């Protein structure tokens, strides 16, 4: 009975958003480097085959796929940090990374403090996770709240939602999520330049997936708090309540198995061994329909199978209801307590 009540509540909360758009399926080859200029002798290759070859190269050397250099133009203006993204997209506004900097009341130089990069959920507005950043500050942790690609000030005028980071365009989703990971790594470089030596990351929902990818390729990140989890990017899009409109654009054009293969570089599953040795907190919600709970449990099972030390917290709510008190208080307490303990 409790499950039915929470699922009905989750569907009501999801239905509040009425501006979701079913966008047409596209392979998105034009988003892949040299995608429109097929390799010699490969001009007739099917777009899915060409995309799969790009994915195979990315998986063979993910260090190269997610490689970054420090940004040439870090600029801190009050509480706002900006810099140019490593990955350039066709939308100029999206190519500047925006982060809000929250300083804790803890005294001392950055080398004596700890910092957490905070990655909100998909379609979070500029106020998303600000309260969580302030809570981290009260726990003595500085925070950098990152606006994901195509969110907030990065959104081009033709969009009302952040559709370009998760959509039925396969290549675009792959590369824009990659951009988010590169943005995190450039933010870490800034923190290191500022003197921070204890750096953690906190991600929620889509932000959780991207946070794990960033930590897997950024050794300076010592602690991960992952809030709403799944081993595979494609499976959440295929089965989740929040992405049913994306699934509508995919139906009849691609299978789940093929989509899982093409989105493997941005899925946590193949990168798990790379985060062994860090402090890790996993959080999922028992009645989640957007990150279906069986997927969350599968990821927890993979951590156990691989012998990667971690903590697990299970919230007695759903995905949307996590943001509503008292569940939001419980979630914030779990995440903040862990990061304060892990980073000192």
Residue 344 has pLDDT above 90, yes or no: no
Label residue 220 by pLDDT band (50, 70, 90): very high
Label residue 17 by pLDDT band (50, 70, 90): confident
Residue 41 has pLDDT above 60, yes or no: no
pLDDT value at residue 102: 96
Average pLDDT over residues 174-192: 98
Residue 38 has pLDDT above 90, yes or no: no
Strand order, beta sheet including 114-119: 75-77, 80-84, 96-102, 141-146, 114-119, 198-204, 221-227, 279-285, 311-315
277-290 pLDDT, tens digit each:
999 999 999 999 99
111-163 pLDDT, tens digit each:
788 999 999 999 999 999 999 999 999 999 999 999 999 999 999 999 999 99
Residue 110 has pLDDT above 50, yes or no: yes
Share the mean pLDDT of the chain: 94
Average pLDDT over residues 248-277: 97
Residue 35 has pLDDT above 80, yes or no: no
Distance of CA 204 to the CA centre of its chain: 7
CATH of 2-343, one of 3.40.50.920, 3.40.50.1820, 3.30.70.2740, 3.80.30.20: 3.40.50.1820
Residue 40 has pLDDT above 50, yes or no: no
Hey, where are the domains in the chain? 2-343
């Amino acid at each position: 009975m409790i499950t039915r009540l929470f699922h009905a509540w989750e569907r009501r909360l999801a239905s509040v958003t009425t501006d979701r758009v079913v966008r047409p399926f596209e392979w998105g080859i034009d988003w892949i480097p040299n995608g429109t200029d097929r390799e010699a002798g490969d001009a007739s290759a099917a777009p899915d085959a060409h995309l799969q070859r790009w994915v195979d190269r990315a998986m063979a050397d993910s260090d190269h796929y997610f490689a970054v250099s420090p940004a040439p133009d870090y600029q801190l203006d009050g509480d706002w940090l900006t810099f140019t993204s490593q990955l350039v997209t066709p939308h100029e506004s999206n190519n500047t990374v925006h982060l809000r900097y929250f300083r804790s009341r803890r005294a001392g130089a950055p080398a004596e403090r700890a910092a957490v990069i905070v990655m909100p959920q998909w379609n979070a507005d500029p106020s998303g996770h600000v309260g969580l950043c302030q809570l981290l500050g009260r726990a003595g942790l500085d925070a950098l709240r990152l606006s994901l690609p195509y969110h907030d000030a990065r959104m081009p005028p033709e969009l009302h939602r952040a559709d370009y980071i998760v959509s039925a365009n396969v290549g675009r989703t792959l590369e824009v999520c990659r951009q988010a990971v590169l943005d995190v790594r450039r933010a870490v470089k800034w923190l290191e330049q500022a003197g921070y030596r204890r750096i953690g990351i906190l991600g929620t929902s889509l932000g959780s997936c991207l946070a794990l990818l960033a930590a897997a390729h950024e050794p300076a990140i010592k602690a991960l708090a992952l809030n709403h989890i799944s081993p595979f990017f494609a499976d959440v899009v295929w089965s989740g309540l929040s992405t049913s409109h994306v699934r509508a654009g995919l139906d009849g054009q691609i299978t789940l198995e093929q989509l899982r293969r093409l989105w493997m570089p941005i899925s946590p599953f193949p990168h798990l061994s790379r985060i062994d040795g860090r402090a890790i907190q996993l959080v999922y919600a028992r009645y989640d329909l957007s990150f279906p709970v069986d997927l969350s449990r599968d990821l927890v099972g993979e951590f156990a199978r691989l012998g990667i030390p971690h903590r697990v917290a299970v919230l007695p709510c759903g995905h949307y209801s996590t943001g509503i008190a008292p569940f939001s208080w419980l979630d914030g307490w779990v995440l903040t307590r862990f990061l304060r303990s892990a980073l000192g």
